[in-house]
Chain A
Amino acid sequence: MEDESERRALSRRAFLQLVTAAAATAGTACFRSPLDTLVPYVERPPELTPGVGTPYATSFELDGYATGVVVECREGRPIKVEGNPLHPASGGAAGVHEQAALLDLYDPTRARALTRDGEVASWSALSAALRSGAADGTGLHVLLGPTASPLVAAQLARLRERRPRARIHFFEALPPAPTVALASEILGRPLQPLPDLGRARCIVAADCDLFGAEPFALRHAADFAAGRRVRRPSDPMSRLYALGPTPTPTADAADHRLPCTGRAVPHFLAALLEAVLRAEGAPGELTQALAPIAAAAPHAGTIERIAGDLRAHRGEALVVAGRGQPAVAHALAWALTDVLGGIGKTLSFTEPLLADATNRDETLPALVDAMASGAVERLVILEVDPARLAPPALRFADAVRRVRDSVALAPHRNETAALCRWHAPSLHALESWGDGRALDGTVSLVQPLVRPLWEGCTRAELLAALVDDDAASGRALLRTAWAAEGRDAEEAFTAALARGVVEASAARRPAARIRLDAVIRMAGEAAAAETPRDGDVELVFRPDPALHDGRFAANAWLQELPDPVTKLTWENAAWLGPETARGLGASDGTWLRVAREGRSIEIPAIIVPGHAEGSVTLLLGFGPRSHLPASHGGGVDVTPLVPAGLPLASGLVTRVEGRPPHRLARTQQSQRQHDRSVARERTRESLEAAEAPRPLDAFYAPPQGDPPQWAMTVDLTVCTGCSACVVACQAENDVPVVGRDEILRGREMHWLRIDRYAEGGDAAPRTVSQPMLCQQCELAPCEYVCPVEATVHSRDGLNDMVYNRCVGTRFCSNNCPYKVRRFNWRDYQADVPEVTRLQRNPDVTVRARGVMEKCTYCVQRIRRAQIRARRDARPLEDGEVRTACQQTCPTRAITFGSIADAQSAVSRTRAAPQAYAVLEELGTRPRTMYLARVRNPLPGLGVDG
């Protein structure tokens, strides 16, 4: 109730007052975010025009690495996140997290005040408390997640220098791959790998979700897609083999899917290395040393051929292991790439960027020991949630209670914050000053776009407060760090702010030499150490593609974002292969008990064709949260089973008898096509025969409007199903979130959905992800059945939706063969909290209850571009209008433009031999066309389907 009143308290008007307020509280003795840098909105700043958005460059950090973005502000409100074309990790694309993070800014459940023992406290009191105690930092412990942020690194360095006895610990539920330590072992120096898919034509992804869970995923996807756009059989096309237990967007995009347990991956790589070495005529002892490991390799029949394929791509081959794999897998992958001449081309090494645990007493267990021994007086936890995510065996919570003064910096009053004495709200990235580094080392800046909605501070500010008495503001800290880098010039700083990236800041790439013998020795030891237990099932723990480790649980967009593979929303389930499920007598929704080391959880099963048998995938990030409404606590918390370190373990899976099956809230019921060629695929060879598609003759010739005539093509070959476009559409068009119950009723509202079809055998199906949005049919079946002219055709070929005229007969939806129309069954918009409404796009109509809505090719963007062009008295250029989904797509799978111009990009893609219209036999003449999924399988390698 009180929360409700607070929501009211921050109405749009009040918010604008905040934005425009003079910096009254500036300069008070505390280290809160800088109020002094905001321009009082008394008279309109020249760069701001009401009704026109202003883009600002900034960046978001996830898993320690930053992705550059451009955020559009309208009247002081950030309303849309796009990728930053200048940033290497983005290249203009933004993933689901970068975009959805915007909603977290307006999250009504955010913590709003600094508290001490649950009571509101003053920041000066906190800064005093932080600096109390021994000057040398005895008994001071800091816990944070691995990060590449130079600013945070600088603060940590100052802390180490000024408080030498303070100890710094790092924790992450799913730690980054142990590559730096590995490198120092087999490269002779600490380095970290940087794969370059742009130069790779033959790729083996070993349990490595290059386009999803791995850092730099957007860039990887873009580089990969660049090598997949073929029109003729002669066009060069890369080939991807995906190995591993879990079907991922990467595995879906692969030409060959090789399901195998996570533990078997090193064996496969060893066998592959052995085969390659043998073919390269390497000394016998090397191959013999590998032989025993290779013996246990899965898909043994394929190894020789794949090795041959790799060798045929010398210098263009890349073998890469995922963050879920042990060091040995990475070692073997590097060795393979090295032998195939890929080092320095497809795989290079940079100096380590992450500040993380480099010695064993910087880990979480070390911290827990210290706390248990009572050696910890002051504990500062920076934006990590060990109370929920740490392995329960550590008994973290009990240990913290023995700390005298504990401080948690967290956006919500989560489990950790509730545990600590102090809870300092952390600022949202769009409210903070800071910086970050991409995987290639490029530095990008973080600048605030709004004055903090509620009080809070950043990691850097809190760290600084540990050493400085006169705490500097975040901006000052950044400038100091900037100056320390030797780049003092204010202009350079401003320029960097404007561009979002710092010029020439990419990390150096020293030459690296793999010590093959070391790798092989390592492989041998690993194989020896391994003790496979019979009867156990392998448990694979992965971050949820949307909620990650749970830090996005408050985010309704991400909660309702269908999983790219299972299409499950608002909850998680245990992924099983069909055979394993049969063995357990489980079907979708059957409750399973998963037990490991005396702990067990009950979780519903979901059968995923293409999942490795004998292995179960469990997604983190779900389960009830103390600080969130129950609706956001769907699914099952699997952290009790998560092992320390490597996210691979073995456990026992049994069926829970007598518990009624769970109804899974999936947005797609059937992933089979039932012989309907909806999502088409073809091999590269077949492109020769194909001729450009010709639309069916219509009984009534569609009326020819004036140019431009808008159209879209979606290239299924490069679409990975990552769902970034779904979030982009939701943010751009104010698409409401409906909640689990409505999803179960089949009432999801996404204007753009991604259908996934799996064909072929269940063991390794061929899948196609098909973004499905309004097809803007020229002979639209929805239009002629509308009794009130609420949906009619525009002169430029759009299927318009007139919300104010709609009476809601829903006949249009019945007659839409693509079922892309969405109906406001309830007053969904009214459920949006007042604060969250600030995110709404002012160019889009808010739809009332009882009204039909659907994709309009972002008509507001079209009209704005046309107005701009008319103002400048020039014709609209091709590519000037970009729809939200198109703009954010990492692989550039979506092309949009006018087919009135024969030279436009969209006209050319429509002429591609693999272009087709879905259900064209109905004569609807869709303006949205698809490029059939083109595969590039290795001839004769019969593993898929």
Chain B
Amino acid sequence: MAEATAIGRPAAPVLEGRPGDAELTDALLSPIFQPGPRVARGWLLLVGLAVLATGVFGVAIGATLTLGIGAWGNDIPVAWAFAIVNFVWWIGIGHAGTFISAFLLLLQQSWRSSINRLAEAMTLFAVVQAGLFPILHLGRPWFFYYLVPYPATTGVWPQFRSALPWDAAAIFTYLTVSFLFWYLGLLPDLASARDRAPTRLRQRLYGVFALGWNGSMRHWHRHRIAYGLLAGLATPLVISVHSIVSLDFAIASLPGWHSTIFPPYFVVGALYSGFAMVITLLVPVRRAFGLERVVTARHLDALAKLTLAMGLLITYAYVCELFTAWYTGDLYERYVAFVSRPLGGFAGAYWLMLACNVLAPHLLWLRRVRTRGLPLLGVAVLIQVGMWTERFVIVVTSLSRDFLPSSWGSYAPTWVDWSLLGGSIGFFGLLFLLFLRVVPFVPIAELKELRETRPEGLEATA
């Protein structure tokens, strides 16, 4: 009854009706092999848009590499701005996937099965975006490898007291482990795709990536062990990655950055935006591919509740930050907390952040909002805007008002900054759309197993 306590009564089913194995398999493979014409057309249209946005991304990257960081709005004192904000935002979004699949797997939350692969894919693609920005953001990106310990003729190594090599290690590890975890989970379904492929070519392609999976008990056993172990490893990893990202700021002495609350604060924020992103993707996908029976109201409800919980936690973090700033009595901390953020040049961003992150989630107290697609989608989008703004407030506002009033400055983004943000969203969308049509985005085998092992979820009706 794990999910009973976790989700609460009355529990909508995690799988509606009782489709047979064959039926289930074909239904879940249809997006790849025989999607409806409407779906196919819509998909092509969206891909077109995404390609366009990705093109803009490319142009902006080109401008950055040829003109230098001067093409951005950054200055002294605001030496970090959009690029870092985007990086933290994307890496944060990338946290929900692994959390959902790994953490909930350990908690044996059966409802995760319908959505975990989609969430993991989102994680991968988000981390890819996140990984681009720290490199683009370097003054001399072509020397990024100076951050990697390799025996150079100069004899110089990276400086491991800085949080940036930690960052590099964390992102690399996270990207690798997320991919392994995702691919391992995908293996049986690649085999199904191989065995149902309509053309010889596709059969061979899926066959290659299935690596010879034959569904023998020998395979299943080892698969289960390895998958469980990876889940166990991924869970603390998720926590560690955003903690380390937060240290990029926390180890600095800058008022508004130098705070011990940052690691938990950032992890919560990451999951918050991550869940919001899962909802943002799940709602339209579920609708477009007619998967209401597989991704049920129950899933939306559960996700919404998790999001709400994170919203309350982030509110708590904000309050703590303000209290600490006041309680330390530190002149500079107080100035950032009570003057430059709420009243300064970027006050608009600050209040937008509060509106989106603190007020909006309270709509999720309403079951109607939790279980209906559109309203839920609206809240999710607001939260993502809010989380991006939060990082902007942390990075830019703190930098623009530091210790010496003489060096106070401002910041104004250029078209390159905006294009990089928009372009990365487009690129993310492109990768995700391709994913939808290339691999089964709902784990088939897991659902079959679920159908066998958890009948009680099926008896109840929505």
A residues in contact (CB < 8 Å) with B: 668-676, 678, 742, 745-747, 753, 755-757, 770, 772, 781, 784-789, 805-811, 813-815, 817-819, 821-827, 848-852, 918-919, 922
How does the 8 Å CB contact mask read for B81-115 relative to A, with 1 for contact and 0 for none? 00000000000000000000000000000000000
Using Cβ atoms and an 8 Å threshold, which residues of chain A touch B154? 805
Binding stretch for chain A, among B16-24, B49-57, B161-169, B180-188: B161-169
Expressed in whole angstroms, the Cα–Cα distance for A674 and B331 within the complex equals 10
A818 contacts B407, C-beta separation under 8 Å: yes
- Known A-B contacts: A669-B409, A787-B146, A807-B139. Give 6 more (CB < 8 A): A676-B405, A745-B412, A747-B76, A784-B159, A807-B140, A825-B70
Expressed in whole angstroms, the Cα–Cα distance for A821 and B67 within the complex equals 21
A850 contacts B138, C-beta separation under 8 Å: yes
Known: A674-B335, A850-B68. A784 touches B78 (CB 8 A): no
B162 contacts A814, C-beta separation under 8 Å: no
Expressed in whole angstroms, the Cα–Cα distance for A746 and B164 within the complex equals 25
Using Cβ atoms and an 8 Å threshold, which residues of chain B touch A919? 403-404
Minimum CB–CB distance from B144 to chain A (whole Å) comes to: 7
B404 contacts A747, C-beta separation under 8 Å: no
Expressed in whole angstroms, the Cα–Cα distance for A787 and B156 within the complex equals 11
**Is B77 close to A, CB under 8 A?**
yes
A670 contacts B156, C-beta separation under 8 Å: no
- Name the residue among A675, A849, A850 with the largest chain B CB count within 10 angstroms: A850
**Is B393 close to A, CB under 8 A?**
no
Interface of chain B, helix or strand or loop or mixed? loop
B251 contacts A785, C-beta separation under 8 Å: yes
A810 contacts B140, C-beta separation under 8 Å: no
B165 contacts A787, C-beta separation under 8 Å: yes
Question: Shortest 5 CB-CB distances between A and B: which pairs?
Answer: A808-B139, A850-B139, A746-B75, A819-B407, A825-B70
Expressed in whole angstroms, the Cα–Cα distance for A753 and B78 within the complex equals 18
Expressed in whole angstroms, the Cα–Cα distance for A772 and B403 within the complex equals 13
* Residue in B144, B163, B404 whose beta carbon sits within 8 Å of that of A678 in the complex: B404
Using Cβ atoms and an 8 Å threshold, which residues of chain A touch B161? 784-785
Known: A814-B254, A814-B399. A670 touches B406 (CB 8 A): yes
Which residues of B in the span 123-177 have a Cβ within 8 Å of any Cβ on A?
A: 137-141, 143-144, 146-147, 154, 156-159, 161-165, 168
Using Cβ atoms and an 8 Å threshold, which residues of chain A touch B144? 807
Minimum CB–CB distance from B39 to chain A (whole Å) comes to: 45
B163 contacts A673, C-beta separation under 8 Å: no
Using Cβ atoms and an 8 Å threshold, which residues of chain A touch B408? 669-670
**Is B80 close to A, CB under 8 A?**
yes
B residues in contact (CB < 8 Å) with A: 67-70, 73-80, 137-141, 143-144, 146-147, 154, 156-159, 161-165, 168, 248, 251-254, 331-332, 335, 399, 402-410, 412
Expressed in whole angstroms, the Cα–Cα distance for A672 and B339 within the complex equals 15
Total inter-chain residue pairs, C-beta < 8 Å: 166
Using Cβ atoms and an 8 Å threshold, which residues of chain B touch A918? 404
The residue in chain A whose Cβ has the minimal distance to the Cβ of B411 is A746
Using Cβ atoms and an 8 Å threshold, which residues of chain B touch A810? 74, 79-80, 139
Known: A850-B68, A919-B403. A788 touches B79 (CB 8 A): no
Minimum CB–CB distance from A197 to chain B (whole Å) comes to: 30
The residue in chain A whose Cβ has the minimal distance to the Cβ of B248 is A811
* Residue in B67, B69, B139, B147 whose beta carbon sits within 8 Å of that of A787 in the complex: B147
A819 contacts B253, C-beta separation under 8 Å: no
The residue in chain A whose Cβ has the minimal distance to the Cβ of B139 is A808
- Name the residue among B75, B139, B253 with the largest chain A CB count within 10 angstroms: B139
- Name the residue among B79, B140, B168 with the largest chain A CB count within 10 angstroms: B79
B143 contacts A807, C-beta separation under 8 Å: yes
B162 contacts A805, C-beta separation under 8 Å: no
* Residue in B70, B251, B404 whose beta carbon sits within 8 Å of that of A772 in the complex: B404
Known: A807-B147, A827-B68. A922 touches B79 (CB 8 A): no
B404 contacts A819, C-beta separation under 8 Å: yes
B79 contacts A813, C-beta separation under 8 Å: yes
Expressed in whole angstroms, the Cα–Cα distance for A823 and B156 within the complex equals 22
* Residue in A747, A788, A823 whose beta carbon sits within 8 Å of that of B147 in the complex: A788
* Residue in B77, B253, B410 whose beta carbon sits within 8 Å of that of A922 in the complex: B253
A789 contacts B77, C-beta separation under 8 Å: no
Minimum CB–CB distance from B14 to chain A (whole Å) comes to: 46
The residue in chain A whose Cβ has the minimal distance to the Cβ of B164 is A787
Expressed in whole angstroms, the Cα–Cα distance for A673 and B168 within the complex equals 39
B146 contacts A811, C-beta separation under 8 Å: no
- Name the residue among B157, B162, B252, B335 with the largest chain A CB count within 10 angstroms: B162
B76 contacts A675, C-beta separation under 8 Å: no
Pairs A–B under 8 Å by Cβ, sample size 10: A668-B406, A746-B78, A770-B406, A809-B164, A811-B164, A814-B79, A814-B254, A824-B139, A850-B69, A850-B140
A817 contacts B69, C-beta separation under 8 Å: no
Using Cβ atoms and an 8 Å threshold, which residues of chain A touch B67? 826
Minimum CB–CB distance from A368 to chain B (whole Å) comes to: 48
* Residue in A772, A811, A821, A827 whose beta carbon sits within 8 Å of that of B162 in the complex: A811
- Name the residue among A676, A772, A819, A852 with the largest chain B CB count within 10 angstroms: A819
Expressed in whole angstroms, the Cα–Cα distance for A911 and B162 within the complex equals 35
A849 contacts B68, C-beta separation under 8 Å: yes
Expressed in whole angstroms, the Cα–Cα distance for A819 and B76 within the complex equals 7
Minimum CB–CB distance from B183 to chain A (whole Å) comes to: 31
Using Cβ atoms and an 8 Å threshold, which residues of chain A touch B143? 807
A786 contacts B159, C-beta separation under 8 Å: yes
Using Cβ atoms and an 8 Å threshold, which residues of chain B touch A786? 159, 162
* Residue in B137, B165, B254 whose beta carbon sits within 8 Å of that of A815 in the complex: B254
B402 contacts A817, C-beta separation under 8 Å: yes
A784 contacts B162, C-beta separation under 8 Å: yes
Using Cβ atoms and an 8 Å threshold, which residues of chain A touch B405? 669-674, 676, 678, 757
A808 contacts B403, C-beta separation under 8 Å: no
B76 contacts A789, C-beta separation under 8 Å: no
Expressed in whole angstroms, the Cα–Cα distance for A810 and B168 within the complex equals 16
Using Cβ atoms and an 8 Å threshold, which residues of chain B touch A770? 406
The residue in chain A whose Cβ has the minimal distance to the Cβ of B152 is A805
Known: A825-B68, A919-B403. A852 touches B146 (CB 8 A): no
Known: A809-B138, A827-B68. A814 touches B159 (CB 8 A): no
B158 contacts A788, C-beta separation under 8 Å: yes
Expressed in whole angstroms, the Cα–Cα distance for A808 and B140 within the complex equals 6
* Residue in A671, A805, A819 whose beta carbon sits within 8 Å of that of B402 in the complex: A819
* Residue in A670, A676, A678, A805 whose beta carbon sits within 8 Å of that of B146 in the complex: A805
Using Cβ atoms and an 8 Å threshold, which residues of chain B touch A823? 69, 76, 79, 139
Using Cβ atoms and an 8 Å threshold, which residues of chain B touch A757? 405-406
B140 contacts A851, C-beta separation under 8 Å: yes
Using Cβ atoms and an 8 Å threshold, which residues of chain B touch A781? 252-253
Expressed in whole angstroms, the Cα–Cα distance for A754 and B165 within the complex equals 35
* Residue in A772, A787, A849 whose beta carbon sits within 8 Å of that of B159 in the complex: A787
Using Cβ atoms and an 8 Å threshold, which residues of chain B touch A668? 406
Using Cβ atoms and an 8 Å threshold, which residues of chain A touch B162? 784-787, 811
Using Cβ atoms and an 8 Å threshold, which residues of chain A touch B251? 784-785
Expressed in whole angstroms, the Cα–Cα distance for A676 and B401 within the complex equals 13
Minimum CB–CB distance from B336 to chain A (whole Å) comes to: 12
The residue in chain B whose Cβ has the minimal distance to the Cβ of A818 is B404
Using Cβ atoms and an 8 Å threshold, which residues of chain A touch B137? 809
Expressed in whole angstroms, the Cα–Cα distance for A215 and B407 within the complex equals 33
Expressed in whole angstroms, the Cα–Cα distance for A849 and B64 within the complex equals 12
B404 contacts A746, C-beta separation under 8 Å: no
A825 contacts B159, C-beta separation under 8 Å: no
Expressed in whole angstroms, the Cα–Cα distance for A850 and B251 within the complex equals 23
Using Cβ atoms and an 8 Å threshold, which residues of chain B touch A787? 146-147, 158-159, 162, 164-165, 168
Using Cβ atoms and an 8 Å threshold, which residues of chain A touch B252? 781, 785, 811, 814-815
Expressed in whole angstroms, the Cα–Cα distance for A822 and B79 within the complex equals 10
Using Cβ atoms and an 8 Å threshold, which residues of chain B touch A813? 76-77, 79
B139 contacts A746, C-beta separation under 8 Å: no
Expressed in whole angstroms, the Cα–Cα distance for A812 and B180 within the complex equals 36
Expressed in whole angstroms, the Cα–Cα distance for A757 and B407 within the complex equals 12
Using Cβ atoms and an 8 Å threshold, which residues of chain B touch A772? 404, 406
B164 contacts A825, C-beta separation under 8 Å: no
- Name the residue among B75, B76, B161, B412 with the largest chain A CB count within 10 angstroms: B76
Using Cβ atoms and an 8 Å threshold, which residues of chain B touch A755? 404, 406-407
